[in-house]
Amino acid sequence: MNLIKISFLRVMVACATIAFMLSCDPTEEQVVEHPDIRLNITVDDITATTAKIKVTHDGESSDTWYGFVTDDTSTDAATLIAAQVAEGITADEIHRSKQYITILEALQPETSYRYIAIGVSAEGVTYGEVCAVEFKTLSTGGTTPDDYNGMSANDAWTVMYIGEDEVNGVAYEHVVKVRSTDNNPYAITIVYAEQYDPYQLRDLAEAMLEDMMAYLKEFNATNGTSYKFSDMLYTGSAADPFDLNPGIYRALAIGYTPEGEESGLYAVSDEFEIKEAMASAAYSAWLGEWNIEGQNHAVTPVVLSKKIANKSFTMTGWEGYDDLAIEVEYNAELDAIFFYSQLVAEDYDLGAEYGKADIYLFAGDEDGYYYDNKDGDYYIAIGGILDDGVRAIVRYGVNVPGYPKFVQMFFMADIDGNFYALTAEDDIPSFIAGMNATQN
Report yes or no on 2 lying in a domain: no
Mean pLDDT of 348-356: 87
- In this model, does residue 15 exceed pLDDT 80? no
- In this model, does residue 174 exceed pLDDT 60? yes
Q: Are residues 26 and 61 in the same domain?
A: yes
6-10, 86-90, 123-127, range with the lowest pLDDT: 6-10
Q: Are residues 200 and 249 in the same domain?
A: yes
Q: Give dist(CA 293, CA 364) in Å, integer.
A: 17
- Nearest partner of 337 among 399, 384, 276, judged by Cα: 384
pLDDT computed for residue 146 by the predictor: 60
Report yes or no on 3 lying in a domain: no
Q: Using pLDDT thresholds of 50, 70 and 90, give the confidence band for residue 61.
A: confident
- In this model, does residue 27 exceed pLDDT 70? no
Report yes or no on 189 lying in a domain: yes
Q: What angle do CA 124, 130, 134 make, to 5 degrees?
A: 120
Mean model confidence pLDDT for the chain = 84
Mean pLDDT of 129-138: 86
Q: Are residues 316 and 407 in the same domain?
A: yes
Q: Are residues 16 and 116 in the same domain?
A: yes
Instruction: Give the H/E segment covering residue 216.
Output: helix 201-223
Report yes or no on 142 lying in a domain: no
Count of domains for the chain: 3
Q: Write out pLDDT tens, residues 261-301.
A: 999 899 999 999 888 878 899 999 999 999 999 999 999 99
Instruction: Identify whether the C-beta of residue 80 lies closer than 8 Å to the C-beta of residue 20.
Output: no
Instruction: Identify whether the C-beta of residue 70 lies closer than 8 Å to the C-beta of residue 83.
Output: no
Q: List, as one string, the DSSP characters of 244-308.
A: --SEEEEEEEEEE-TTS-EEEEEEEPPPEEEPPPPPPHHHHTT-EEEEEE-TT--EEEEEEEEEE
Domain end residue (candidates: 249, 274, 299): 274
Q: Could you check whether the bond before residue 6 is cis, i.e. omega within 30 degrees of 0?
A: no
Q: Are residues 249 and 360 in the same domain?
A: no
Q: Write out pLDDT tens, residues 218-266.
A: 889 888 999 999 999 999 999 999 988 889 999 999 999 999 999 989 9
Q: Give dist(CA 217, CA 203) in Å, integer.
A: 21
Report yes or no on 6 lying in a domain: no
Work out whether the CA dihedral 171, 333, 160, 195 comes out positive or negative.
negative
Q: Are residues 261 and 360 in the same domain?
A: no
Q: Which of 94-103, 185-194, 375-384, 402-411 has the highest mean pLDDT?
A: 185-194
Report yes or no on 401 lying in a domain: yes
Q: Are residues 293 and 339 in the same domain?
A: yes
Q: Are residues 161 and 113 in the same domain?
A: no
Mean pLDDT of 88-107: 83
Characterize 344-380 residue by residue with b for buried, 16 or more Cβ atoms within 10 angstroms of its Cβ, and e for exposed. Answer: bbeebeeeeeeeebebbbbbbeeeeebbeeeeeebbb
Q: Are residues 306 and 429 in the same domain?
A: yes
Distance separating the N- and C-terminal Cα atoms of the chain: 63
- Nearest partner of 19 among 71, 78, 68, 65, judged by Cα: 78
Domain enclosing residue 300, as ranges: 281-437
- In this model, does residue 349 exceed pLDDT 70? yes
- In this model, does residue 316 exceed pLDDT 90? yes
Q: What CATH number is associated with residue 110?
A: 2.60.40.10
Q: Which of 22-36, 96-110, 240-254, 377-391 has the highest mean pLDDT?
A: 240-254
Q: Are residues 368 and 432 in the same domain?
A: yes
- In this model, does residue 379 exceed pLDDT 70? yes
Specify the higher pLDDT residue, 422 or 10.
422
Domain end residue (candidates: 104, 136, 168): 136
Q: Are residues 114 and 175 in the same domain?
A: no
- In this model, does residue 7 exceed pLDDT 80? no
Q: Indicate the pairing of strand 157-167 with strand 170-180.
A: antiparallel
Q: Are residues 169 and 75 in the same domain?
A: no
- In this model, does residue 165 exceed pLDDT 60? yes
Domain end residue (candidates: 84, 106, 136): 136
Q: Using pLDDT thresholds of 50, 70 and 90, give the confidence band for residue 14.
A: very low
Amino acid at 106: A
Share of the chain above pLDDT 70, in %: 89
Report yes or no on 252 lying in a domain: yes
Q: Give dist(CA 414, CA 400) in Å, integer.
A: 30
Report yes or no on 5 lying in a domain: no
